[in-house]
Structures are given as structure tokens and as C-alpha cells.
Amino acid sequence: MATVATPYSFASQPWLARRADLKIRPAPTAAAAWLVEDPAASRYFELSADEYFLLRQFDGRSSPTDICTRYERAFAPRRLDDAQLDEFATRLYHQGLLVSTATGQGEVLRRRATETARTARRRALLNPLAIRLPGVDPAPILSRIAPACDWMFSRTFLLLAMLLAVAAVGIAVLRSDLLLRELRAATAAFHPSMLLSLALVTAGAKVIHELAHAVACRKLGGNCREIGVLLLVGVPCLYCDVTSVWMIPERWKRAVVGAAGIFAELFLAAVAILLWNASAPGLFHDVCLQLVVVCSVATVLFNGNPLLRYDGYFILTDLVGTSNLGERSETVLGTLLRQCYCGDSENAEIGPLPARPWLWAGYAFASIIYRTALTVLVWWFLRTALRPLGLTVVADAVLALSLVGMVVIPLRRTTSAIRQGLLNGRIDGRRLGVRSLATSLLLAGALLWPWPHRVAAPAVAHVREGRHLFIATPGKIVSSKQLGDVVDAGESVATLVNLDIEREASQARSEAAQRHAAVDHLESRRVDDPAAGDELPAARQAAAAADDRVRLSQKELARLVIRSPVAGTVLPLPQALANLGEDPQRNSANELDSSPLAPRNHGRYLAAGTPLCTVGDAQKREAVLVVDERDVEFVQTDADVRCQFDATGTRIWHGRVIESTAMRDTNIPPEVAAAGHLALEAAPGGSRRPTAEYFLVRVAIEDDAGLIPIGAVGQARIDAGGQSLAARGMRFLSETFRMQSPAR
């Protein structure tokens, strides 16, 4: 806990005494010896044997010298100097465990109350992601809710909950493809309007979460002192103060109270996934999916993670018997850093370091890194959600305030401590400078080192050098090649007949003949009849227009013969393309049977745009990757690629980049769009186009046996050489804070 400056040190005001109303009993954890309760402020403190011994010495009469002498006699050979005792006494005084009989304490207490309130406001301001509002006494509410929830603590309910969880996990595994597809689609199509439903789902889940803590605490002998509103990333949620659980001596009961909220959310997630599986696509279906994510993934990342000061952290402290794990580990980390960099072997806390101090320090370091990464992740999510509303400055302000509390204030304290240590000679300045310089060089090397860089992109499997054939001009199919036939480049694959086009072509030819005959007639008359010469330019223009209509009609007739642009084998269409042939808006005839080339489909009318078949090498595959324009600069020809397709499980397929071309909106691989890998937006004419610019990258896959199904969708990673962490960070910042998106 941070030390707050006091107008009187213990050396100048030695007459301090412990409060008589404190409740003290043996601590239920192994790391602490005694538990102290402040009944007036509803606060709890855990003291080690050394700290408890010193607390007992403050009787209002003993001087600092007397207390140090008694401590050294009781804990020999350890020693305690006046500075350590003064710091410890100051901390207890500001925590309210010690009082002074000196005159003028009213003013001191008033100033302390003012400083405490100011500190609370500062902490709330520097933690805008979780703002806790004043609460009320929940006893009237819990007196009605708790008796009605007794059945939830029965063995029968626990058994049913376990069976429900097993069923939910089974559904999630069996339908994982659909579940992941809907999650990707929801993420790609995220819109600010979805924030309302997501906020309501989150708020409802957290209300049940906190009520579960309160009911469990009351059931197992504790007391919920306060209940109120918590603004969690701006979402109103509930919070319950169940700190009285520390008075429960049984470790397992405290762990149950800590796990009650997580259990309630996982139970909600299990129910939600069953309802998601049973419901049809729609609003209720989407809300169930959101509830699954909020109550499972988010619970594990936040509440269940022991690196954050939430439920998982307190469950861990109860299970391992180590209280104040976060504060103690950070203290150990600070002590080890001082010993390494400053040569200062003094421990900031009373008593020796715990066993295996590097394990404690590792936990503190991992917790700091995880909290920082999570803060940046929340900021990125807020910025993405608020960008369409033009409110990204709100997300940036939240990040700035969070970083002040996480970085700036601790850095100021560290700088102040180093300055004080250099002045009093406890810190070796030369050692500090050399080791700080060495650390800076190592960090600079890590930031500037070209670490392996890979570009991730969705991929779809095609045949090597394959081409999809579509109907360009509608008509009835009368003859065609069959699947498996080998064709040459330019060879006919299918022939269609369209009587309307043939009639128009015949009329165009007849009209052109008439127009040319009129021109010839005027040419023969213009010598004898000057008026015929005047009519000749208009007649020639009409004949030219008729010729143009003939050429257009001939092109339309030529399109009725579908020719292969490459040599290869006639292959079936990928499923995503084949489904287009079943669209009633595209085909006025009955639903097609299998391939449009099948003999049973001869004589059926095929609309323009109907996919026909694929022509390519049946035994070789290539992957078409959809790469974001921001990453395409890192894609080089012949670069190594690793692909994993949903249809082939976890097998990794290797390949190399063949070429990269700009993609038009009409060239979006339908398999990728159908799988939800791209964010699409409405375009004029009722079509949909990607919200960003992409490039198509062709990759030759090492699959000479043709084991990858045509149209299989997956993910690919392109080897993009090396890129330093500094360059990646600068690129991320430049893309995040650019004033406007590039023109389409």
C-alpha cells in the first residue's frame, strides 16, 4: 500500500496506540499470522507475525527505542532500525489501526479524511474502465433472495449443472464449425447498433454474477455489506462487497464464495448454448450467442484469470493459502529489482523475503504485462466500436487515464525513491547507471531485431490454373461436356440456345441487308438524280448502325457457346458457387440436379450469371488468399506459405506465392464471403462489397494427389521475412490514428 505523507512522524510523536475496538484473530491463510478487522470502516488487514508483534507494542507509552529493542530480542538475529519502524507506524496510522493521544489530532484526522477522499477520487479517475458508484445495504434484498436460492446449493442441482455443462460442451464441439462461422460473421459485420444488445447482455450477466457472490457469502456465514452500481467499460453492472468472507476460517468456503459468480456465468453460458442450438437465426439466436461469449470467454479472460484482481485471483489466494498475493509479489519484485540495480538489500516490508522469491516476482511481472495488454485490447475494442460515431477521442482519453495510473504514477514513485536513495547513500549510483544502460541496450536490441513476420489471410482452395465458367448469355443448354472430360484451351464446354437472341440476330441481319441495298440504290442514282446524293450520308449512317447491331447480336450468339479459357479437366464447382445455381432469382426453371452439365439438365433454361463448372488440373491445387491492402507490401513472389483448411482438419499444407493482383468487388471469392472472413457493406444495386481494399494472392499448394476439396476454406500465413517490434508498433499507431481511411 502506498505511504501517504503525514505531518508527524512516529519519531516526533511516539505516543501512538492501537485502537481498542479492533477485532484480531488468527488468520485463515498460511502466509499471514493474524487477521485484523476494522469494524468502523469494514476493512480487513492481514499481518505477519513480525507485524502483529509490533502492533501489540504500540500501547501509547513505549518509545521507538523500546519497541526496536523488544523486536530484536524476540526475532534475533533480525534487526529493526528507526526508519523502518517509522515507516511501518506511519502506514498503520494512515490505515486507521493506530491512534495518537497528542494534541491537534482533530486537524490531522480531518486532513487524513480529506486526503483519503482525494485519493479515492484520483483512483476512480485513473481507472475509467471500472467506476464504482456508492452503494446501499443489501440486507432487505438478500433476506428475500437468499432463502429462495437454497436449492441451488443442493447436490442434486450441482449434478444437473454438471450434466448441463457436459451437454453444452458436446454441442459446442460437434457444432464448432457453425459456432466459429457465426462468431466470425458477427465480428466482421460488427456495427455500433450491436453495442446496445451486447451491453444489455453484459449487464444482465454481471448482475447475476454479483448476486451469486452475495447469496453464497450469506449462505456460508459471511455478510454482504454493500451493493451498488459498477460502470464496467461504460456498461452499468452490479457489485457486491463480500469482504467479510475473510472472517470465515474455512478455506474451502471462501473459495466457494469466490467461485460462485464464475459458476453462475458458466451455467448461463451452458443454457445459452443449448438455446442457441435449438433456435432459428434471428434476434434471439444472436443474443444467445452473445451470452455464450460474455459468460464463457470473457469470464475466463477477466473474472477467472488469477493475474487480475478478480474472482480467479481470490480463489487462488484461498487455495494456496497466500493472502495479499498481488501486493506481496509486487513488493518482492521491487526488492529484487533494487538489489539487482541499486545494490540496496533493504526489504521494504517488515520480515524476510518469502521462499522462492523469483516465483513471486514472476507472478507480479506476468500480472503487470497481462493488465497492460488487456487495457490496450479494451481500448482497441472501444476505438473500433466508436469510430463510426466519430468518438474515438473518448477511447483515447480512457487509455490515457489508464496509462497514467498504471505507468506514470508508479514511475514517479520509483524516481522519487531512487533520488532519495542516492541522497542517503543506500543506492550505488555507478551500479545503477551501468546496469540501467545494459538493460536499455538489451531492450533496444529486442525492439530493433527483425523478428519473423507472417501475414495472415483467409484462403480458399482452387484447382491449379483453374477457371470458373459462368453463363454470360441466358439460354437453354442443349449440349455439353461431362464432368471428368479433358478439354483444350478454346474448346467448347457447353452450347446454349436462345430463340429471342437468334430472332434479334436474324432481324439485325435482314435490316442491315436492307440498309446496304438502299445505299447501293442511292449510289446508282446520284449521277442522274442530285437529290439521291443528298440522301446518301444518312443512308450510309443507318447502314453502319445496322452493322453494329449485327456485330452485337453475333457476340451474343457467340456467348451461347461456353469455351474453356485454359486446357484441363472439367470439374464440379465449389459448393459456395454451386449454390448460386439454386437461386430462384437466377433460374426460372426448376431446381438444377447436380451439375448444370448433367444430361438430365439439357433443355433447361439457365439465367445469366449461373455458374457452370471449373476447368483446371484435377490433381493439383492452388489457394487464393484475400490479403488486406495494408499487408500486401510484405507479400513477395515465391514466399513460403502455410495453409490449414477446415475440410482437412489440423493438417498443414505448404506452398509458395505465385502472383498478387488487385481485387475488384465482383471478384470476391464467394467461399470466403460465405464463411464470414470478410467484412462486407451494402453497395448500390443491392450488392455487397468489402469494407476495405484487398488483394488476391495465388499460392501453389503441394497437393499433387488432389486431397484438398475444391472450394475448401481455411486460413493461411505468408512468410514475410523479418520485421522489428518497433516497426510493427509504429505501423499500428499510424494505422490506428490516421485521420481518414484511404479512398476506395
HSE toward the beta carbon, residue 417, CA cutoff 13 A:
17
Out of 109, 125, 141, pick the residue that ends a domain.
125
Out of 322, 356, 383, pick the residue that ends a domain.
322
**Residue 168: inside a domain, yes or no?**
yes
Residue 591 — pLDDT band, cuts 50, 70, 90?
very low
Residue 494 has pLDDT above 90, yes or no: yes
289 and 386, same structural domain? Answer: no
d(CA 494, CA 501): 17
53 and 39, same structural domain? Answer: yes
Q: Give the three-state DSSP class for 531.
A: helix
Which pLDDT tens digit goes with each residue over 619-675? 788 888 888 888 888 888 889 999 999 888 888 999 999 887 766 545 667 777 766
Alpha carbon of residue 486 to chain centroid: 48
Closest C-alpha among 564, 549, 558 to residue 475 = 558
Q: Give the three-state DSSP class for 110.
A: helix
101 and 147, same structural domain? Answer: no
Between 53 and 530, where is the model more confident? 53
State the DSSP H helix or E strand holding residue 241, giving kind and residue range, or none if neither: strand 235-241
**Residue 470: inside a domain, yes or no?**
yes
**Residue 2: inside a domain, yes or no?**
no
Residue 74 has pLDDT above 80, yes or no: yes
- Residue 254: exposed, middle, or buried by beta-carbon count in 10 A (0-12, 13-18, 19+)? buried
The pLDDT assigned to 527 comes to 72
Q: Give the three-state DSSP class for 380.
A: helix
Which pLDDT tens digit goes with each residue over 91-123? 888 777 888 766 666 666 677 667 766 766 666
Range of the domain at 148: 126-322
DSSP code string of 707-729: -SPTT-EEEEEEEEEEE-HHHHH
260 and 170, same structural domain? Answer: yes
Sequence-ordered list of residues with C-beta below 8 angstroms from that of 350, at least 6 positions apart, any chain: 48, 50, 51, 54, 80, 84, 88
The pLDDT assigned to 551 comes to 92
d(CA 88, CA 95): 11
Asked if residues 577 and 670 have their Cβ atoms less than 8 Å apart, the reply is yes
Q: Whole-model pTM above 0.85?
A: no
268 and 364, same structural domain? Answer: no
Q: Which three cell numbers stand for residue 428?
A: 550505488
Residue entry with cell 504514477:
409
d(CA 331, CA 336): 9
State the DSSP H helix or E strand holding residue 462, giving kind and residue range, or none if neither: strand 451-470
- What percent of the chain has pLDDT above 70? 82
What are residue 658's phi and psi, to 5 degrees? -95, -55
341 and 283, same structural domain? Answer: no
Between 583 and 723, where is the model more confident? 723
- Cβ burial 527-560 (10 Å sphere, 16+ → b, else e): eeeeebeebbeebbebbeebbebbeebeebbebb
Which pLDDT tens digit goes with each residue over 593-608? 567 888 888 888 888 8
The structural domain count of the chain equals: 4
What CATH number corresponds to the domain at position 573?
2.40.30.170
pLDDT, mean of residues 447-460: 89
Pick from 155-169, 362-376, 677-691: least confident: 677-691
The pLDDT assigned to 586 comes to 40
In eight-state DSSP terms, residue 153 is G
200 and 221, same structural domain? Answer: yes
**Residue 106: inside a domain, yes or no?**
yes
The pLDDT assigned to 301 comes to 76
194 and 333, same structural domain? Answer: no
Closest C-alpha among 360, 351, 364, 363 to residue 33 = 351
**Residue 5: inside a domain, yes or no?**
no
Q: Which residues pair with 381 in a beta bridge?
A: none
The pLDDT assigned to 739 comes to 43
**Residue 692: inside a domain, yes or no?**
yes
251 and 182, same structural domain? Answer: yes
In eight-state DSSP terms, residue 59 is B
583 and 651, same structural domain? Answer: yes
81 and 192, same structural domain? Answer: no
Which pLDDT tens digit goes with each residue over 297-319? 878 777 788 888 788 888 887 77
Out of 83, 109, 125, pick the residue that ends a domain.
125
Closest C-alpha among 52, 73, 48, 71 to residue 353 = 48
State the DSSP H helix or E strand holding residue 38, giving kind and residue range, or none if neither: strand 34-38
**Residue 231: inside a domain, yes or no?**
yes
Closest C-alpha among 95, 92, 91, 90 to residue 116 = 95
112 and 191, same structural domain? Answer: no
**Residue 4: inside a domain, yes or no?**
no
Number of H helices, E strands in the chain: 22, 22
